[in-house]
Amino acid sequence: MTVETSTISAGVRHPRLRALGKAFRIPAILLTLVGLSSGSYLPEVASLAADSAPAPVSVPAPAVVVTEAPAPAAVPAVSSPATALLANGADGLSPKVLAMALDAVACAKTRGVAAREDLLTVIDYSLPSTEPRLWVLDLERGEVLFHELVAHGRGTGDNYATRFSNLNDSHQTSLGLFLTGGTYTGGNGYSLKLQGLDKGFNDLAEERHIVMHGAWYVSPEQARAQGRLGRSWGCPALSEKMAPKVIDTIKSGSFVFSYGGDQDWLQSASSNTCGGATTSLASL
């Protein structure tokens, strides 16, 4: 009796790339149809009793059944963690603001600004000070590490930030892309140096001593009592409890993007963000 068989084998691989901005590639599913056929002779089985041997029975060869390979299932689109944050709103963060922050970061990198790939801090000053409006994002895992209250400068407005400046003694908040530097302990306690990367908008941050620090006037209690947070002299001030944790997470070379509704900045900040020379962390 001749038996013919057909065998189907398939292999699927899904390589993963976690770094922000790298493409995900999923190769096509490889299907290999290997037909195996062999002929074999099944000998007659001798009868146990010579006088009762049954007549040989002719067994027809079974029909060969060829099974078609099923159509490959549709492969779902693979999105980067940053894209997932965009889609989900990053726990209250506007996808539009996050997209602008990611664009500014990409632009800065093309101009040679070296920074950490895994973190991005976004501040949305278009929100009232009574709402948490600072996010620290883990871009490799697509997670929100911190979502905190943050104060603006006293010259920038009351509950809402409406005026922004890059000038000394303005006591106003600056917008745009910053690079975090080292830490120190000064008049405002544990503080984080910030270098502004947008010429004309925040590049005087170091000269103005614009740093991230903790402040007693940043708390839910202050927000309820005054209808707004207290205000700084232009620094992004956090609560005294959370400031050290946030600072230690983002220090030493990560990006901070401050967004606001200022029209001049909105029109110019994107191009200015990567208009400067290569930044050296040694200067921070």
pLDDT score, position 92: 87
Q: What is the 3-state secondary structure (H, E, C) of the chain?
A: CCEEEEEEEEECCCCCCCCCCCCCCCCCCEEEEEEEEECCCCCCCCCCCHHHCCCCCCCCCCCCCCCCCCCCCCCCCCCCHHHHHHHHCCCCCCHHHHHHHHHHHHHHHHCCCCCCCCEEEEEECCCCCCCCCEEEEECCCCEEEEEECCECECCCCCCCCCCECCCCCCCCECCEEEEEEEEEEECCEEEEEEEECCCCCCCCCCCCCCEEEEECCCCHHHHHHHCCCCCECCCCEEECCCHHHHHHHHCCCCEEEEECCCHHHHHHHHHHHCCCCCCCHHHC
Task: Please report the pLDDT score of residue 217 as a whole number.
Answer: 98
Q: Given this model, what pLDDT does residue 80 score?
A: 72
- Reading the chain (284 residues) residue by residue, the pLDDT tens digits are 444 333 333 333 333 334 434 433 333 333 333 333 344 333 333 333 344 445 555 555 555 454 454 444 443 333 577 766 766 667 889 999 999 999 999 999 999 999 999 999 999 999 999 999 999 999 999 999 999 999 999 999 999 999 999 999 999 999 999 999 999 999 999 999 999 999 999 999 999 999 999 999 999 999 999 999 999 999 999 999 999 999 999 999 999 999 998 888 887 754 444 444 334 333 44
Tell me the whole-structure pTM to 2 decimals. Answer: 0.69
Q: Where along the chain do its domains lie?
A: 81-283
The CATH number of domain 81-283 is 1.10.10.10:
no
What pLDDT is attached to residue 23? 38
pLDDT attached to residue 263: 84
